[in-house]
Amino acid sequence: MDEQTPTRLTTLGHPQRLAIFRLLMRRYPDPVPAGEIAQALGLKLSTSSAYVAALMQAGLLTQHRVGTSLLYAIDMASVGRLMDDLLLDCCRGRPELCPPFAPASAPGRPYRVLFLCTGNSARSLFAESLLRAEAGGRFAVFSAGTRPQDAPHPLALAMLAAKGHDLAPLRAKPVSEFQAPDTPPFDFVFTVCDQAANEDCPAWPGQPVTAHWGVADPVKAQGTEAQRALAFQQAFGALRNRVLAFAALPLDQIDRLSLQRAVDDIARTRSENDA
């Protein structure tokens, strides 16, 4: 057993330290500023910093500095060793204690994909439209918002229409529409805004593959009409890169663990590729 396993378990036994760990796991692989962690969880910065320091000391987080800001992310290698210790050492590898890593989808039906953001007025609608247009026959694609707007943003609809996308299926709707007990399970759930990923939503039934593909919110852009239009174009381009990379994955040929790594790698696409 790793000598740090008892310390890591003790550290995660504190509710607010566990909340920080879960938040950063939802945002993985993105590094998150200390102030944003505190704000997302309603903590004082000094309190949050103390909890983060404990998680760092336990080897569960990584830290790096950008300018004057400290950013934190999950140390996935350390978490992997912790999970190995729990399953293989403590529990002697009993498979009934660990959920099965099933294929992403049962044969003979499209993969069900859900894109989530806060307002469901631009970014998640872009992703929904892009995946439907690029590989619609392989996927049943949906989008929703944690706090949806009344309607899609006019600039988002205008951009999609100009690029030839079908606007008929698009509307702003709450995530609760997809959380009813009789809703078919999703194979993939992607958050495309940081705020939605920060929210502690219930786990999705069916163990879908999840990832965070955070993109800046074009709805919040200010300035001239041209500057606002550019923000929407940049968000569309960033999501197009991710959707194209996802649609190109040989989903029926790779195991679930490899698939999870692949969608996490897509999340690492940065602005230099987002054109």
253: amino acid identity, one letter: Q
Is 273 a residue whose pLDDT tops 50? no
Q: What confidence score (pLDDT) does residue 107 get?
A: 61
Assign residue 248 the CATH number of its domain: 3.40.50.2300
Three-class SS state of 250? coil
Q: What confidence score (pLDDT) does residue 100 get?
A: 58
Classify residue 86 by its DSSP letter.
Answer: I
| Tokens encoding 233 | 């174009």
Tell me if 142 is assigned to some domain.
Answer: yes
For 183, counting Cβ atoms within 10 Å of its Cβ (0-12 exposed, 13-18 middle, 19+ buried), the class is middle
Same structural domain, 187 and 252: yes
Q: What confidence score (pLDDT) does residue 95 get?
A: 67
Per-residue pLDDT band at 102 (split at 50, 70, 90): low
Tell me if 104 is assigned to some domain.
Answer: no
Lowest mean per-residue pLDDT among 82-91, 188-197, 238-247: 82-91
Q: What confidence score (pLDDT) does residue 1 get?
A: 76
Tell me if 102 is assigned to some domain.
Answer: no
What digits encode the pLDDT tens for the residues 90-101? 887 776 776 655
Give mean pLDDT, residues 146-152. Answer: 95
Per-residue pLDDT band at 220 (split at 50, 70, 90): very high
Last residue of a domain, one of 53, 72, 97: 97
Higher-pLDDT residue of 183 and 203 is 183
Same structural domain, 131 and 93: no
Give mean pLDDT, residues 53-65. Answer: 96
Residues spanned by the domain of 17: 5-97
User: Per the structure, how many domains does the chain have?
Assistant: 2
Beta-sheet pairing, 139-145 with 209-212: unpaired
3-class secondary structure per residue, 89-145: HHCCCCHHHCCCCCCCCCCCCCEEEEEEECCCCCHHHHHHHHHHHHHCCCEEEEEEE
Q: What confidence score (pLDDT) does residue 136 get?
A: 73
Same structural domain, 76 and 151: no
Would the pTM of this model clear 0.75, i.e. be above it?
A: yes
Give mean pLDDT, residues 67-74. Answer: 94
